Structure 1
């Protein structure tokens, strides 16, 4: 059979090559028109503030199809709840991290069992990790079960191997991690929140059936218990006043407040410091293809969650810069940046320590789960730099995070200036604002914004999902992010303007002199032709990036009336990317 195939290819080689060239020619003619339209408009917009270009990595999108962990837990949970049809739903539902993440399967591995038998005390585990004496490690020689001889109570601030990182977080989740306070299920236009029993316990169902059938039965059995909140298709501009940013929070200077959020410090992986250690999985987090898909589902999950609970937020910082370039996240960033006002943060507080199951796309086989964790050390004034993020929305299968920060109205300049965490430059800026009697907003990093910069927000598409951006996004980019908009290449990436993508320079080699110049159409086409990763990324993003520049064009048309701007886009159109 193999010989026959080789003979066929040899005999018809020229014909096949000719057909391939014909198809490629037709494709390039078709694509050239769309590329020119979008690129010309892009250059007009970017030239206004001196932008040229950046890059995007080669990514092969992988959506989360959690068939063996979270879905197993959801399946037995809804089977259990359906059995309560006659007696009514319990006040709290049972939960354990063990069952939720199937930790028994991990600890049943022979290599893990051998390691636990060998490192059978906290002291031996410390030596295995290479812990210096000066580094603290909250491990207690308290037998958890017949296999695990100790309890891990918190992270260790050491660079560990990736495998040891996973071992540490699984030991923590198995032995010490508290249960979430609640579970939120988002299912199409229905929302349900379950309080969780704080005591860890397994749900035992011998034959739970299928998840889809159990969900359908639950919707029928307990229809009256659901919140009916359809996801919108029409989005309007939002206006906030200074009162939305006024926070009735404590004004506490705590110079000894410990760092709340802790990261997955990993040997030879400096970017691991962006991942939450409790859910870190190097196989997903370090794979660029996976990470792109994870960030997209984080954005989609947050959009669904915030819409269905009426929590208004917007993208800012590097996420907004990425949106401005091409509607996508900057490829070298490992997280997302969301901001909200103090009044919206107050709404978010009641969802602290919540697992969010985003089943809005379950009909397409996508089941995503996130953990919302709010930093308890939030106040108007900070005593140190340990807690510069107010909350995190975390992908539980990888540890990739969305950082959530709150904007607060400056009401006590003297109190702010007494914080030791302020640099002299920041202290001088607050003194100047006080002298001018200016109204300003600040976040937990003491970055300030004039109130009028964050008063009107317009709906936009970021990673093909609905979000909001400040109407004065150009002013903010000019004042806060000049280093990200004035170059043709950044972080090992070059912006390919005719592909509308930041492309890793390893994917398309480039002469050093050409790095500082705008890319040409010929070079961009050659890059796409010679790199399969670039071709795949381009095919997946071309409609989205063209849509983005049409969106910027609409903003330009409405620039004098952005407070009345509206965006209409069906949910199904946002699902495809």
Structure 2
């Protein structure tokens, strides 16, 4: 007797019909393409993508929670209950009160009396971004000149202040006393540490008694923080200029001197005396005054903002001759600015160096430290502890994306999200919860623009939005490497061209440029040769050289096929990138490559666009979010589920696909982190799902209409410092002067 398995037969039938449908749609789409030789590849890609999408979503329930009134009412009740029981203040920014413009106590700092009275002031004072940024906003309204700068006003360096002139009996050995770990054999086992004298210099006449002079090699987490902060306090040069973002361009101010001197800090410089109302500093009020002031109108930067829905990139932007740029700058009839002079010097250094040293150094941790790899995702100068897996990390990455995209777009810099960040955009427009950095790319010409006009600058987030309501106070350091003329992998030290670094944590955006080079391009582009004209085909054939391509001339091959690469040998064709398509990333306007699916397929495989289980997370279709797999499994009514496993069986995948409305409500009620993420992101992720469908159908006009939503551009997560204000009792309850007294025993 033949056994029938109705469920298995049904599944196979669905998959068969899916493949048949995919073939039909693919042929219909491909017939509209001018190049018949791409049929095979495009059909295969379409079939595989459609197959994976159906397989991982088979029989999935579709709950429209955005319009389900029952669900929304239940979520309101769950939110109220969760906030009431929120002992750790995880949900503070979901409260209806929040931070509002009229809440003066939140945005206003009373200037300490030691600025005005004839009394002794403390040696250093607490860090508060509201105080610093508020003073600079007001100062710039009255002063048409460069500004003083010290890192202690812009980064919290308080952890090193305990070393200020107070180790009298050990000052000659102060470097070893604080940082030497060479005798801790178990701790340093497997790590190549540096001798303390290589990076720490004894300076008895300095405030710290020592100076960190260079990067430091692998370290403990505690030392990493102290070393970076010590470097910023007494060694790191000042930024060349400050760029204050507004809702319409930016306001820029040169920094008076690159010298690192505490005398340039607000505590010692004369900025307070140049303010009209120095007794109280309100960052929100001062921002709104600055953007409406005559001073701003006179100095406002009017760079071309990128507003195109579909943006074609000139091919010439991928092929820059450094010698031509060097000669142009060297022979300029107009005097070069300090930044341009530095850029010219950097180009000359880079162009004449065949073995460039490593430029960017991360906060490398000792191998003995659990999850030591995490340190590689922080710039060592700004490292402020590990944040992976914490809400703080999601806040920082979100604000990094927001401010990088606003900075680039408002200054006409062509850039797009890439690699893992492009993949995470595809899923729900948000960074993956396991992400530790953001990846973007740009043409080599745009990297030159970034280096010439913005290198070594500090970018300050707009404190208010277009409605005058609080936005944020993030600060970001633009750092361009010193070997950008070298466009091949070389010694492998400099795969990254530039970084956009969050100075609160050291987390960053990796910026890599694509350029035409003579590096060996992948064989996957060989099929493109047949698309060329006969003369071009012959040039490529001749350039391939002898047997097995041993003598191949890839400069000619890459030029004819229009193939570009970064210094880590990631190759992309011009047809895959251009024109760029305007989209939204983390609720911010951005650009993506035109053929993003092909790029993601080449880099990650098409299954990455559909597989709903990765690392320790599973994608919940109806919430449009990745969440902890083990927690989701614990809610499944399945006897054989292995709750300890981070992998999903097919049965578990099917069970998750079939979660009911009640199941989702139970998940939200029992997991405040998931509730918070849903409430913060659900409006945007819905817009993203609509946008993605339109982009895949190349309906760019409808995409443009979607992007007129007034909510686009607003932050989805709280400001990092304001989040700290809500969790730090001293920041909530003590005045700035009271904190200064407690802080330094003044």
Q: Same fold (TM over 0.5)?
A: yes
In structure 2, the CA distance between the partners of 1:218 and 1:134, relative to structure 1 (3 Å rule), is closer
- Cα distance change on mapping 1:232 and 1:261 into 2, 3 Å: closer
2:658 is matched with 521
For the residues of structure 1 that align with 2:443 and 2:482, how far apart are their CA atoms?
Answer: 17
1:48 counterpart residue number: 50
Question: TM-score scaled to structure 1, two decimals?
Answer: 0.77
Indicate how the Cα distance of structure 1 residues 145 and 111 shifts in structure 2: closer, same or farther if over 3 A, else same.
closer
| Structure 1 residues 238 and 158: CA distance shift in structure 2, 3 A | same
Deviations 1:34-91 (A, max 9, x none): xxxxxxxxxx99952725779xxxx96979999843332233334444454xxxx22x
Of residues 560, 568, 571 in structure 1, which corresponds to 2:707?
568
The residue that corresponds to 1:369 in the other structure is 475
Within 5 Å, which residues of 2 pair with 1:139-218? 139-143=200-204, 145-146=206-207, 148-160=208-220, 162-196=221-255, 197-199=257-259, 200=261, 201-202=264-265, 203-204=269-270, 205=272, 207=278, 209-210=280-281, 211-218=283-290
Structure 2 residue aligned with 1:463: 586
Structure 1 residue 112: Cα displacement? 11
Tell whether the 8 Å contact from 2:287 to 2:463 is kept in structure 1 after alignment: no
Q: Secondary structure at the match of 1:321?
A: helix
Q: Does the 8 A contact of 1:79 with 1:208 survive in 2? A: no
Structure 1 gaps, min length 5: 1-43, 417-426
Q: In structure 1, how many angstroms separate the alpha carbons of the residues matched to 2:551 and 2:601?
A: 18
Residue 384 (str. 1) matches residue 495 (str. 2): no
> Following TM superposition, by how much is the alpha carbon of 1:248 offset from its aligned partner in structure 2, in angstroms?
2.0
Q: State the distance in 1 between where 2:687 and 2:703 align.
A: 20
Query: Partner residue of 1:496?
Result: 620
Q: Secondary structure at the match of 1:458?
A: strand
Aligned to 2:504: 397
Alignment check: 8 A CA contact 1:75 1:208 kept: no
Correspondence for 1:93: 147
- The residue aligned with 1:442 is 565
Residues 271-286 of structure 1: matches in 2 within 5 Å?
A: 271-282=374-385, 285-286=387-388
Q: 1:245 to 1:298 in 2, by over 3 A?
A: same
Contact 2:433–2:626 (Cα < 8 Å) also in 1: yes
Q: Relative to structure 1, is the Cα distance of residues 365 and 307 closer, same or farther in structure 2, using a 3 angstrom cutoff?
A: closer
CA separation in 1, counterparts of 2:169 and 2:136?
31
What is aligned with 2:199? 138
Instruction: Identify if the C-alpha distance between structure 1 residues 554 and 498 changes in structure 2 by more than 3 Å, giving closer, same or farther.
Output: same
- Once residues 192 and 657 of structure 2 are traced to their aligned partners in structure 1, the CA distance between those partners, rounded to angstroms, is 56
Preserved contact between residue 691 and residue 706 of structure 2 (Cα < 8 Å): no
For 1:246, the equivalent position in structure 2 comes to: 319
Q: Distance in 2 between matches of 1:377 and 1:506?
A: 45
SS at match of 1:446: coil
Aligned to 2:322, the other structure's residue is in SS state: coil
In structure 1, what is the equivalent of residue 455 of structure 2? 352
Q: CA deviation at 1:345?
A: 1.6
Contact 2:192 2:217 survives alignment (8 Å): no
Selected match of 1:123 from 139, 160, 176: 176
How far apart, CA to CA, are the structure 2 residues paired with 1:313 and 1:300? 13
1:268 corresponds, among 341, 347, 370, to: 370
Judged with a 3 Å threshold, the aligned counterparts in structure 2 of structure 1 residues 98 and 116 are, in CA distance, closer, same or farther, namely farther
Deviations 1:214-257 (A, max 9, x none): 44554525134332659979651101132121122368595642
Q: How far, CA to CA, are the matches of 1:170 and 1:361 in structure 2?
A: 29
**Does the 8 A contact of 1:304 with 1:358 survive in 2?**
no
**Partner-residue secondary structure (3-state), 2:406:** helix
CA-to-aligned-CA distance 1:481-503 (integer Å, 9 cap, x gap): 11734633211112222322211
1:545 to 685, 697, 700: 685
| 8 Å Cα contact 1:235/1:566 also seen in 2 | no
**Residues 166-202 of structure 1, C-alpha deviations (whole Å, 9 max, x = no match):** 1111111112111101100112225211111223322
350-359 or 246-255, which deviates more: 246-255
Equivalent position SS for 2:633:
coil
Equivalence for 1:38: none
Q: Is the 8 A contact 2:488 2:568 kept in 1?
A: no
Instruction: Give the Cα–Cα distance (whole angstroms) in 2 for the partners of residues 549 and 188 of structure 1.
Output: 27
Contact 2:691–2:703 (8 Å) recurs in 1: no
Q: Secondary structure at the match of 1:515?
A: coil
Evaluate the alpha carbon distance shift between residue 471 and residue 228 of structure 1 in structure 2; reply closer, same or farther with a 3 A threshold: same
Supply the distance in 2 between the matched residues of 1:262 and 1:325 (Cα, whole angstroms): 31
Distance 1:367 1:107, change over 3 A: same
**Which of the residues 43, 61, 70 maps onto 2:129?**
70
Q: Distance in 1 between matches of 2:563 and 2:375?
A: 34
TM-score, with normalisation over the residues of structure 2? Answer: 0.61
Change (3 A) 1:208 1:277: farther
Contact map agreement 2:351 2:483 (CA 8 A) in 1: no
Bigger RCO (CA 8 Å, 6+ sep): 1
Which stretch of structure 1 is more off in the superposition, 226-235 or 166-175? 226-235
Could you say if the C-alpha distance between residues 61 and 338 of structure 1 is closer, same or farther in structure 2, counting changes exceeding 3 Å? farther
Supply the RMSD in Å over aligned alpha carbons. 3.8
- Deviation track 1:453-498 (CA, whole Å, cap 9, x = no partner) reads 1111111111111111112111111111117346332111122223
Instruction: Quote how far apart the aligned CAs of 1:126 are.
Output: 4.1
Q: How many residues align?
A: 509
Deviation at 1:145, TM superposition (A): 2.5
8 Å contact from structure 2 (residues 287, 464) kept in 1: no
Which is strand-richer, 1 or 2?
Answer: 1
Q: Which moved more, 1:445-454 or 1:253-262?
A: 253-262
Measured after TM superposition, the shift of residue 317 of structure 1 is 0.4
Secondary structure of the structure 1 residue equivalent to 2:154: helix
What is aligned with 1:227? 300
Counterpart CA distance in 1 for 2:50 and 2:557 is 33
